[in-house]
Amino acid sequence: MIQRFISVMAGLACIVAATGRVDAHPHVWVTMTEELLYAADGSVTGVRHAWAFDDMFSAFATQGLEQKTKGTFTREELAPLAKVNVESLKEYAYFTYAKVDGKRRKDAFLDPIDYYLDYDAKETVLTLHFTLPFKTPVKAKAIEIEVYDPEFFIDFGFAEKDPVRLVSAPAPCTVAVEKPHDDNFPITLRLDQAFQTSEANIGMGANFANRIAVNCP
Amino acid sequence: MRLTRCIAMAAVILVLAVAADALATAASAQAGPFGAIHSAPVTGIAGWILAKQALFYRALSGLIRASKTDGSAYWGLMGISFIYGIFHAAGPGHGKAVISSYLLANEETWRRGIALSFASALLQALTAVVIVAVAAVLIGATAKVMGDTVRVIEVVSYTLIVLLGARLIWVKGRGFLHALRTVRSGPEPAAAEPADAHHVHAADAHCHHHDRSHHDHAAQPHDHALGHHHGADEEEDVLPWGHAHGPEPEELAGPGGWRRGLSAIVAVGLRPCSGAIIVLIFALAQGLFWAGVASTFVMGVGTAITVAAIATLAVAAKAMAKRFAATRNGYGSLLLRGVEVGAALAVMAFGVLMLTGTMASERMGMF
């Protein structure tokens, strides 16, 4: 009896603890295309994000917005929303973290510039574009940019094709893209083709950071 | 007796561990953008649940689209919604922790545990549908307006959870202190008498799933006029020591009364889940609002099943604690009251953590 009681209590505690530990699961998926912007002297001046949201969230985000043509939104119609977006993102440090020569650099970025939203009416997908300028341009051998949501409400993943581009970088610079490790979750269950293209998005666990590593020897 | 004390301690620690775990999770979430990110791997069952529900959630979009032209996709949509609901209950803010703590703190039957789980999950689905129907369909509100509405509801819901916890702590704390006094001053005569094995009234003929403790209502008179209705489908929660003190507020409400569980149902079920709202809006945008509504309720049923399973476990644990306690004297009562107080504290802790935003619930509208 005592053992049974304890085992039931322990089981209960484990279930609550195990599921409680999972803080969140994403309701927003972002497919990223990133650019690192270089100045003429070879320093990195900023990061240019293009974040495409999943179709469900895109529908949610555009709900109730005024539109001249049904089914699509112009950049101007989306301008107020873009402003709200970048302003709210400040609280989350734009989910963008920089590492220079192996060292974390806190508070590395200025407020976003050149931001706008566009809407792909065919794919019904909303994309947020914005540039995060470095407070001081970074000249370093190794620069790493990570994009992730520590609370995992937003699942960031790189685009399949050309996820990262270096814009006017010095010739010897190379870029590597590291996707989240999903060793823990062998994807055995595929519901439809759509998932095959979003494998990066399903990567979860400790390493859900998407890493861009630039090396300029 | 040392063993008893040890087990009493273990049980209380276990319940507190659940609350502590929530705190720890909250703390690590608070560690800032550069801390603790890589140190807390989501693996094992939790990680698997997470991966699966992400998969199912993503499938919903394709199935809603397909439902426009293909009638069979509609059934696929219902199936995935159901499974998603089952997995989704693993997320926070779906009341599983609050409901199970509430059940641990109270005298409830497994049937009431299941009813509570279903009622709160379906209320949650209903809130999501009502918000979207009113805000989006009727007045064409934007996502921001809906997000703000949800936030207001969240605050109300979390406040209710805090109040529920506070009330439980007040009630259960008194019971605990009473048990403590009883232990200190020596066992009560009735509790010390193991020979009190006969049942006195005929109502006891109905099925007793867990409570095989021995009632002697003659030895421990309690006030039936105050609302102890021994209905055929109710299990009574009379313990040898249960009525040594005055009737507790929830006992006055009647053991089978809906009023007693209503506070928990509303506190937990009021807050809609972001996922359901997003699915509803997407369905609306696709011109299939009713498919979204059906999907939301099917999700609710799935969620309810998971919560009900955990709730049943909580009731079973409580029942065992009770049976175990019945075999001991004052210490058994102390154990039981300790578990109750711990569970009451957990309810309040969940409410406070969610209210202060320390414990991550769901957020929407940052985009």
pLDDT in tens, A62-75: 998 988 998 899 99
C-alpha span between B93 and A94 (Å, rounded): 25
C-alpha span between A190 and B58 (Å, rounded): 11
Domain presence at residue A14? no
> Which residues lie closer than 8 Å to B162 by C-beta, 6 or more apart?
B348, B351, B352, B355
Residue ranges in A38-178 assigned as alpha helix (H) = 55-62, 75-90
Domain presence at residue B361? no
The answer to whether the Cβ–Cβ distance between B54 and A202 falls below 8 Å is yes
Domain presence at residue A13? no
Least confident segment among A9-13, A188-192, B100-104: A188-192
**What is residue A171's predicted lDDT score, i.e. its pLDDT?**
79
**What pTM, to 2 d.p., does this model score?**
0.72
B367 to chain A: which residues are within 8 Å by CB?
A: 28, 53, 57, 61, 85, 88-89, 128
> Which residues lie closer than 8 Å to A203 by C-beta, 6 or more apart?
A157, A179, A180, A181, A182, A185
* Residue A102 in tokens: 């192996």
B80 contact A CB<8A: yes
**Number of domains comprising chain A:** 1
Nearest CB to B21; choose among A17, A124, A207: A17
Q: Assess contact for B80 and B59: CB atoms under 8 A.
A: yes
The answer to whether the Cβ–Cβ distance between B54 and A2 falls below 8 Å is no
Mean pLDDT of A48-75: 92
A189 contact B CB<8A: yes
pLDDT in tens, B238-282: 333 333 343 344 443 444 556 778 888 888 889 888 889 999 999
The answer to whether the Cβ–Cβ distance between A198 and B58 falls below 8 Å is yes
Q: Could you tell me which chain A residue has the CA closest to the CA of B328?
A: A2
Mean pLDDT of A116-130: 94
Domain presence at residue B322? yes
Mean pLDDT of A83-102: 91
Domain presence at residue A18? no
Q: Which of residues 67-86 of A touch B (CB under 8 A)?
A: 84-85
Domain presence at residue A17? no
Which position has the token pair 């006029």?
B225
The answer to whether the Cβ–Cβ distance between B317 and A55 falls below 8 Å is no
Range of A70's domain?
23-215
Domain presence at residue A75? yes
CA–CA min distance B253, chain A (Å): 28
**Number of domains comprising chain B:** 1
Range of B253's domain?
46-193+239-355
- Does A22 score more than 70 pLDDT? no
Q: Could you tell me which chain B residue has the CA closest to the CA of A202?
A: B51
Which residue positions in chain B have pLDDT lower than 50? 1-41, 189-255
pLDDT in tens, B183-212: 777 655 444 444 433 433 333 333 333 333
**What is residue A97's predicted lDDT score, i.e. its pLDDT?**
93
- ipTM over 0.90 threshold: no
Mean pLDDT of A16-45: 77
Domain presence at residue A10? no
Domain presence at residue B221? no
**What is residue B353's predicted lDDT score, i.e. its pLDDT?**
83
DSSP letters for B337-364: HHHHHHHHHHHHHHHHHHHTT-S-----
**What is residue B78's predicted lDDT score, i.e. its pLDDT?**
95
Amino acid identity, residue A121? Answer: A
**What is residue A118's predicted lDDT score, i.e. its pLDDT?**
95
